[in-house]
Amino acid sequence: MCVEQKNERTAAVEIAQVFRQHGDHYCLENKLTPEQYKVMNAIKNCRTRVLGGHMEQCDYCLGIQCSYNSCRNRHCPKCESFKAAQWIEDRKAELLPVPYFHVVFTLPHELNNTILYNKKILYNLLFQAAWKALNTLGEDKNRLGGEMGMIAILHTWSQTLSQHNHLHCIVPGGALKANGQWQSAKKYLFPVKVLSKLFRRFYVAGLREIVEKNGLKLPDQLTDSLTSLNVDQWLNELMSKEWVVYAKPPFAGPEKLLNYLARYTHKIAISNHRILACDDEFVTFQWRDYSDENKIKIMQLKPQEFIRRFLSHVLPDGFIRIRGFGFLANACKAKKVKIIQEQLHYQPKKSTKDRSIAERMLELTGQDITLCPLCKKGHLKRISDIPSQLNKTMTDTS
């Protein structure tokens, strides 16, 4: 008898089950973007016989397992663990022996609906405004007087799956001056209020420019009533609000930073372990209420609303949600980071890219993906392939 292998802790209910149970009905009653439809189907089919896979046999108990292929979609809760581990591994060569600051830039909720119709352009603007605000202060001769570095990670959700658009930015404590010298930061990075005002100014200025070029898509019910007068009023109201920029205490060195990034960079809107139940009436899940002493609470949503909220966080195809800036930008980081490391007499750990996937997963996550789940003693060896049903369907219909 062939037993399906579970590559991670079994969840009581998975997002895939919600989609299988309620997805078809949702598609009939709602218009999905091509990206949303693609995500829903990928998650439904992930690690099932639809995608094919291979059979493995234990070299100790001789038990046979069926291991099905992953969908590799970045919105899938089953496919992000190795991607995160691989990404963290790649960052080892870029580490510096300095404090790293965690800065969060949050957009006002008044922009939520507009963003849903303009994800690519307004999320790009979020990256640009955050970096411009940060580097403007970094280049100030009275502060650091040089080019800063930043890794920015886009998150679009709250614990209840509502829209909460914000950037988590990891910033090394210092700047690279024009003469190639490293300038260390003080115990804190920059005043949060100053950073917040700069961020607001740059974002609203960019938004105004987009509006003037007619580059903003709006819901149909707003298009007819929108005039240049109330666009100005809307932008002025955004300028009058307090924009939230939050700076956490710095990480104590590169190892602490890696531990943080390992569980944070490739998060999706909700993980399977938070979902408690799914029936015809509700999807029940846990959420953390940060406004009430971080208490864990239970929320129930109608399946249609749960799916709507989840799919609202699907990003446009090809959109890059983790980006490097300054001396951590892809085009120059290899050269500039090496200059800083040499000045600080720091030799980062070598990457383990030459190791197998199983070896790297064991080192980075502590999970031995070759261990037999039946006897817990032997290791699995591949013995045959399982063809994908998708390929068969395409052949039958052609």
pLDDT per residue as tens digits for the range 139-151:
998 899 999 999 9
Beta strands 3-4 and 64-68: pairing type?
parallel
Lowest mean per-residue pLDDT among 91-95, 161-165, 201-205:
91-95
pLDDT per residue as tens digits for the range 180-212:
999 998 877 889 999 999 999 999 999 999 988
Average pLDDT of span 363-374: 79
Phi/psi of residue 186, nearest 5 degrees:
-80, -165
Output the six-digit token pair for 19: 């989609």
Residue 7 above 90 pLDDT? no
Helix axes 303-311 and 15-29, enclosed angle (nearest 10): 90
In DSSP notation, 5-27 reads PP-SPPPSS-HHHHHHHHHHHHH
Q: What is the chain's mean pLDDT, rounded?
A: 87
| 369: confidence class by pLDDT, cuts 50, 70, 90 | confident
Residue 8 above 60 pLDDT? no
Do residues 71 and 46 touch, judged by C-beta distance below 8 A?
A: yes
Q: Count the alpha carbons within 13 Å of 40 in the hemisphere toward its beta carbon.
A: 23
Residue 373 above 70 pLDDT? yes
Q: Token match 């990034």: residue?
A: 261
Q: Can you give the pTM of this predicted structure? A: 0.87
pLDDT per residue as tens digits for the range 16-33:
999 999 999 999 999 999
pLDDT per residue as tens digits for the range 286-340:
999 988 999 999 999 999 999 999 999 999 999 999 999 999 999 999 999 999 9
The confidence score (pLDDT) of residue 350 equals 67
Residue 368 above 90 pLDDT? no
pLDDT per residue as tens digits for the range 107-148:
999 999 899 999 999 999 999 999 999 999 999 988 999 999
For residue 66, what are the contacts with CB-CB under 8 A and spacing of at least 6? 2, 3, 4, 5, 49, 53, 55, 386
Helix axes 357-365 and 80-91, enclosed angle (nearest 10): 80
Between 275 and 397, name the one with better pLDDT. Answer: 275
Neighbours of 336 (CB within 10 A): 19
- Give the angle subtended at the CA of 215 by the CAs of 211 and 218, to the nearest 5°: 80
The confidence score (pLDDT) of residue 250 equals 79
